[in-house]
Amino acid sequence: MKVLVQRSLNSSVSVDDKIVGCIDKGLVLLVGFTHTDTSYDIDYLVKKVVNLRIFDDENGIMNKNILDVGGSVLSISQFTLYADTKKGNRPSYINAMGGENAINLYNEFNDKLSEFIKVEKGIFGADMKVSIVNDGPVTIILESR
């Protein structure tokens, strides 16, 4: 499982020109799964996301987590995180989990995350337009394995 984390001032996701999720200060999470991912991977990355200290404290040092600053999460499914570009110029997505298994894990991830923090999300598998005001910019890649 991979999660690309972006610290955000405000962000939104639209499907068919309709906003389906939006946040102010918080984190945008691009979330991808591979075939071997399980609930263990989800638990590990939920804990990591919630405790990741990438918000500034009073001294301008990244020392606070999302809970400390009262932020929200915008979670977007992103199978292209598992793109393989080793051969040629057209990415292969064979390592990305698809279908019902990926939907179930994505929903489980968001449900567990929402036990700690407000979570807005996109629509799995939809053609989404994501608008992100990356704060910093701060972008971090988390992997469960």
Catalytic residue among 80, 85, 109, 116: 80
Q: What is the DSSP secondary structure assignment for residue 82, as one 8-state letter?
A: G
Instruction: Region of 70 please: left (phi>0), alpha (psi -120 to 50) or beta.
Output: left
Residue 69's nearest CA partner among 13, 26, 106, 28 is: 26
Question: Active site includes 78?
Answer: yes
Nearest 5°: the CA angle 116, 4, 85 is 150
Determine what percent of the chain falls in helix, strand and coil, rounding each to the nearest 5.
25, 40, 35
Catalytic residue among 34, 79, 85, 124: 79
Question: Active site includes 124?
Answer: no
Question: Active site includes 116?
Answer: no
Catalytic residue among 6, 55, 78, 109: 78
Active site residues: 78-80
